[in-house]
Every structure is written in structure tokens, then in C-alpha cells.
Amino acid sequence: MKSFEYVEPKRILVTGGAGFLGSHVCERLLDEGNEVICADNLFTGRKRNIYHLIGNPRFEFIRHDITFPLFIEVDAIYNLACPASPIHYQKDPVQTTKTSVVGAVNMLGLAKRLGIPILQASTSEIYGDPEIHPQTEDYRGNVNTIGPRACYDEGKRCAETLFFDYYRQHDLEIKVVRIFNTYGPRMHPHDGRVISNFIIQALQDQDITIYGEGKQTRSFCYVDDMVEGFLRMMRSDAGFPGPVNIGNPGEFTILELAEKIIEMTGSKSSLVFRELPEDDPLRRKPDISLAREKLDWQPTVDLEKGLEQTIQYFRDLLSE
């Protein structure tokens, strides 16, 4: 008779778990048989993102702000808590910085006490308005430390500093991923991000707002690919803390994106142009050579396929 070895499911904390990215991470971890504790203060996260998980006996939601300590027993931490779009993180910039910095201290302290691995969701924004293209992990960035985006950019940079100091000083197992533009179902409809903005405007036949001349570029990664990158990073060799770029190297101008969304939605929208916001990066594209080498990861969902899913999500949302 074949012997059966019972494997205890891991208990995993996802901070910011009711947010766009966090809810997908929770879902994926549950699908793999883990127990998931979702901690979110619901500043930008939304309960509707996790409604479908509430009945799962392996899922637990805690309303909690990580600028305060959290006393809990878990086997791993995905630290995703922080407003990530300018319209949200600039609403309360002091709190944004505290979430990145004080929140990192609290979560690192928890990981240190428990002796468990912790993944930090960092950002391509730490590169600022880059002077090299595409951006590699060894590029130190071009960031305005006193501008309106600094609460997020510098907060995330300081969080990376804290993570690597805990790695060196306390031998803590850390994983740092730098997220590039990500999109997909469950994006906040009013987050001010370019894809959600354009889709909402196009579906309602409103003017599509383009800042500058629309020549600035972005690289858009579908959420399923991003989550796969997170999980591969968390499960990578303990001697590889990162940072590692996770994003799609396909590069599109904002004007190209607007035209594609108008075409795919059959919209009657017109394009209107506004002044470019301060410190808005003109080019953004990840070099993912390190992710390919260390994680055997690269995106698999092209922009058109990902947009189809995202457009349908917002179409359903607007019809409710």
C-alpha cells in the first residue's frame, strides 16, 4: 500500500490583501492549498475584491493598518500594503511614507521574531525619471526627494534599505521585487492609473485624457504574470534576496495605448491633451534578464489578451 505523507498547509500573511494585487495573491495562495490571512485597512483596498474568498475556511480577513504592530503566527509574509497610484498616495502623503517605512519595520520585526521569509513589494518608481533605458536592478535612480511623488518613491526606497539591513544584520530571509505597471481585473476604477482611466472613459464614450503629447512610454504586465513572479521569487534560493524587476518589457506609448483601448471597446471617445504632471517619468521599461536567469520567469500574457479581460471586468462593473 502506498504511504501517504501529510503536509501541513502554510499559513501566509498578505498585507494589503484586499487591494488589486493583494487579492490576486490571496486567491493564488489559497488555490495552492495554503491558509491565508489578509490584513488591510481598506484605505484603497476593497472588500468586494475578496468577497469570493470569505467563505473559504482557509481564508481570514483582518482589518489592520501595518503602521501598528501585528501580533500573529504565520509561516511567510507578502508585504503589499501601500497606496500605489498617485491619486491615492498623494491624498495623505505622510501616511503613505509611514506605511512604507513604519509598516516595513513592523513587518520585518514580525518576520524576525518568527524566523520566516518576507517578500517586499517594491516598485519601479524607485528609479524615478530614469536616465538609462531599459532599467536594470543596479541602476540607482533619478528621484526628486522633495516632489509630490516622493512620499511613495522615497518611502519604497527606504523600505528596501530596511529590508537589506535586516538581511545583513539579522540574517533574515528577504525577497524584494520591483513591480512595473500592472493591470487586470479588480483594479480600482478611480485610481487614476492610465489603463483604468482610459477603459472607464472609453466605455462611457467620454474624452480620453492624455497628459503631455502621449509620447511617454510604459510597459504593462498582466496581473497573473505578476503574481507568478511573486511566488517564484518567494520560493527561490534563500541566497537570492533581490531586488529583481518583475514587469513586461513590451513598451508602448500612452497614445498607442489610448488608440488600442478605443478600438477594442468600440468607443466614440475623443483624445484630449493636458499638461504633464510634475516628475512623471517619460520612459519606463524593465530589463528582466535577472528574473529570467534566477526565477525562470517571463510574462506570458500579451497586452491585447490582458486588455480583453480588464475591459470585460470594467464593463461588468459599470453595468451593476
- List active site positions: 152
Cell of 88: 491615492
How many C-beta atoms lie closer than 10 Å to residue 28's C-beta? 17
Assess contact for 192 and 165: CB atoms under 8 A.
no
> Which residues lie across from 221 on neighbouring strands?
182
Q: DSSP string spanning 76-140?
A: EEEE--S--SHHHHTTSHHHHHHHHHHHHHHHHHHHHHHT--EEEEEEGGGGBS-SSSSB-TT--
| Phi, psi (deg, nearest 5) at residue 145 | -75, -15
| 18 phi/psi in degrees, rounded to 5 | -95, 5
Question: Exposed, middle or buried by CB within 10 Å (0-12, 13-18, 19+), for 60?
Answer: middle
Record the cell numbers describing residue 280, joined without a space: 512623471
